[in-house]
Amino acid sequence: MIHQQQQTQQASLLDHSSTFLNTVQDEILRAKEELDNMDIVKAARANPNLFEIEAYSHLKGSAKLNSLTATTLRGQGKIIVPPVIFYNEDQTEVTIVGHLGKELCGHDGIIHGGLLATLLDEVLACVAMPSLPNRMGFTANLNINYRRPVLSDQWIVMRGRLDKVEGRKAYVEAWLESVDGTTRFTDATSLYISPKQ
């Protein structure tokens, strides 16, 4: 009798887990479809002066598994699907479109400012690294202006631009804006420095 109750409970838990996983998979598929059908994404894919790269494709093995944005912050209620990334031909400008879920808040309904700083730093790196020696560098400083709150559960556009390169130094700027481009939420400037060796 006890053994039969345990089996029934286990079967119920398995059914619940399966239903949950199917729901998450459905949400991921819907988000991916929504992303692919956005006007900004379709226009970028149709632009012959831009090329698309796969998000986090430069990370391999443990580097990807231990990445804050590629793995830790991914999932339902967070960054549900990898963003799409578009570069201009010389990789001095980047446009990234991504979704920020409800579980990334500092205040209820408002995305955490520290997460926005992280995203800006990654956008800045996207345009700094290609111009640095050995395509490698580190953030020396990061200056951020928070202009408007970013509400959770919405798509945002992240843009970055290389200002200048001086030897091992790259000066870059980036900003986060609404999908329609009418609202700038935050902007930042940064200095990246490539190691001597």
Catalytic residues: 121
Place of tokens 């379709």: 42
For 91, the 3-state DSSP assignment is: coil
- Classify residue 126 by its DSSP letter: H
Assigned token pair, 77: 């209620």
User: In sequence order, what are the beta bridge partners of 88?
Assistant: 50
User: In sequence order, what are the beta bridge partners of 191?
Assistant: 141, 171
For 93, the 3-state DSSP assignment is: strand
Rounded to whole angstroms, the Cα distance separating 191 from 4 reads 64
18-21-23-24 Cα dihedral, nearest 10 degrees: 180
CB 174 within 8 A of CB 142: no
Sign of the torsion formed by the C-alpha atoms of 68, 70, 72 and 74: positive
